Amino acid sequence: MESDNHLQEQKYIRAKRRVEDLKGYYWHLAIYVLVNLFLTGSQIIDGITEDKSFNEIFSDFGLYGVWALWGIGLAIHTFKVFGFPFFMGNDWEERKIKEYMNNQR
């Protein structure tokens, strides 16, 4: 009976950690989009007020640099949260946990 309670507690802890990871990822994604849209909008408005052409406004690396570099960080966060299902399979983590638990016996 105590083993079942311990197993349930472990499942709860893993599920709670997963939910916290997802919550952190969604906040990261939302902030990424909002900040980059704000920066892009201000770059466009600044270009318009300075009478820059469409090409001049959108050929500035600064406009894409933040999107790209932060995007790399977001991609890493995505793989950390969602894993590599195409490489390791969706249940890879659970199988590894069971494997290590069996090896400890």
Burial class (CB in 10 A: 0-12, 13-18, 19+), 36: middle
pLDDT (0 to 100) of residue 86: 55
CA angle in degrees (0–180, nearest 5) for 5-7-10: 110
| Residue indicated by tokens 């802890």 | 13
pTM over 0.85: no
Query: What's the chain's average pLDDT?
Result: 85
CA 95 – CA 68 distance, rounded (Å): 35
- Percentage with pLDDT > 70 across the chain: 90
| 61-82 and 2-49 helices, crossing angle to 10° | 170
**How far, in Å, CA of 95 to CA of 60, rounded?**
48
User: Any idea where the domains of the chain sit in the sequence?
Assistant: 2-103
User: In terms of pLDDT, which residue wins out, 72 or 103?
Assistant: 72
- Please indicate whether residue 90 or residue 44 has the higher confidence score (pLDDT): 44
